[in-house]
Amino acid sequence: MTATTGGRPRPIPRHEERQHVPDRRAREYPPNRPPQIRGTTSKQIRVFLFIFPSKFPTFAKSRKTNTKMKKELCLLLAILFTLSLYAGNGKAKITFESPRYDFGYIQESKGKVTHTFEFTNTGNAPLIIVDTRSLCGCTASRFTKEPIAPNGKGSIDVQFDPAGRPGPFRKEVKVYTNASKAAVKLIIEGVVVSKKK
């Protein structure tokens, strides 16, 4: 480069020429703005700070929820364990006032007859009637389905249909409970008087 002095050009010294060359680093990094880390933008940093702090409360909340669930589970297991001990030490027992009933003479023309067998749980654990069964389709039964507490009472209704069955009869109804694997037998009997022709 040259400069004009008195109409004649003169060469510019190299130290003066350098002063006119703008500083490339100054143009890229202004004085009030520090250089950024290579490969990371300020926008990425802001996004990082925006996302991750919001995750920390959620993580802490999930940990609190898990802790609460563990406490509830432990409490439930403790209750079940206590009940199992109680059930293991106690046992239900079904006691009928009378396991047999005699209808006497019944008229076939009057249709079905029913008797109610009442019982008491004389054990020290809840009693449950599981099922009742009869070998004859002429006999039906209904029973208390709710658990019966110790010293509580329940009932079983046994119905007999005399239609087409004149003469003496004796029917059994088996009662299955949680008190024993063996069934308890209920017996109904009587004499059916046939219809007059």
Q: With contact defined as beta carbons under 8 Å apart, do 118 and 153 qualify?
A: yes
Q: Are 144 and 129 in contact (CB under 8 A)?
A: yes
Which pLDDT score is estimated for 173? 95
Question: In Å, how far are 14, 102, 135, 162 from 195, measured between CA atoms?
Answer: 143, 20, 25, 11
- pLDDT-flagged residues of the chain (< 70): 1-65, 78-89, 197
CATH number at residue 138: 2.60.40.10
pLDDT value at residue 49: 47
100-107 and 184-193: which strand pairing? parallel
**Quick one: pLDDT at residue 48?**
45
Mark whether 128 and 71 lie in a shared domain.
no
pTM above 0.85, yes or no: no
Q: Are residues 77 and 98 in the same domain?
A: no
Q: What are the tens digits of pLDDT across the range 10-26?
A: 665 555 555 555 555 54
Copy the structure tokens of residue 78.
Answer: 């403790």
Q: Is residue 21 part of a domain?
A: no
What does the pLDDT read at residue 55?
A: 47
pLDDT in the model for residue 166:
94
Q: Report CA dihedral (24, 30, 33, 39) to the nearest 10 degrees.
A: -20
Q: Which domain holds residue 98?
A: 94-193
